[in-house]
Structure 1
Amino acid sequence: MTACKATITEEIKAVLQNFDSEVKTILGENRNTKHKDLIELSDKYINEYSELEIIGGRWTPLWIKEESQKALNESKKQRGGKRKGAGRPRKEKTELIRVRESLIPIVEELKAIHEMKWEDEEKINELIMMLKNRSNEEQMNLL
């Protein structure tokens, strides 16, 4: 319910002006508790001046309280915390291993073939040849 302007006394107008300046102070400060502070301020004014319980409209204690509660509820819904289904879906477990730098191309090729579900026979044969050549080169280096 909104009271008409004719019923608002000079005292209540002054109270609303004080409330407005305190709201602007809170909004001007960069703090995380802004919405909670606005709710507390609104409650303080409503409890102190019972007439403010029936005066609605923008920038009144009732409106500030409602808007701050909405904003507080929205921020709780959207921020932080562990959520079901969040993150990258798992394919299968992985393990960290050390590989010689010279073997990296072979391991990467093997991984690519594995991800193709072993469907590309030409790639498989290419990898086998690479492994055979690598094995022969290592044997020659040992002699």
Structure 2
Amino acid sequence: MKKTLLSVLMLPLSMSSFAIDITFTDSQMSVSNSNTDVIAITIGDSNQYSETFNFSGSSASISNFEINSAQDGLYKYSVIATSIAGSTEVSDNNGRNQVEKNIVTSETESGHIRIEDGQFLLTAEAE
């Protein structure tokens, strides 16, 4: 019964929140957000593996083999999509040094994914 359930879940899967679109195939995680300047994807497991992948632009993708050498297990992912909304000038307390700082907005999305036999599988935690 378990093998039947897992084979059904190997179809391409897609989850989305407002503007972040996250899509999984059996070998790739793709993220897109049309209004994003930077995307950061953090993946970790319960065995102290944690890695962050940073991308410039509005789309990003990582393969299952980039995640802990595609070792079988349950992984948590977190995606942060950041956009520059503008800038403002700020100064230190004495008013002598003024610098321009970006004003940013961000969106986050997180979930769980399992790697089994080198392939991504959506887990019950993500449903």
Q: Which TM-score bucket, shorter chain as reference? A: under 0.3
Q: Which has the higher strand share?
A: 2
Higher RCO structure (Cα 8 Å, ≥6 apart): 2
TM-score of the superposed pair, with normalisation by structure 1: 0.23
Q: Which has the higher helix share?
A: 1
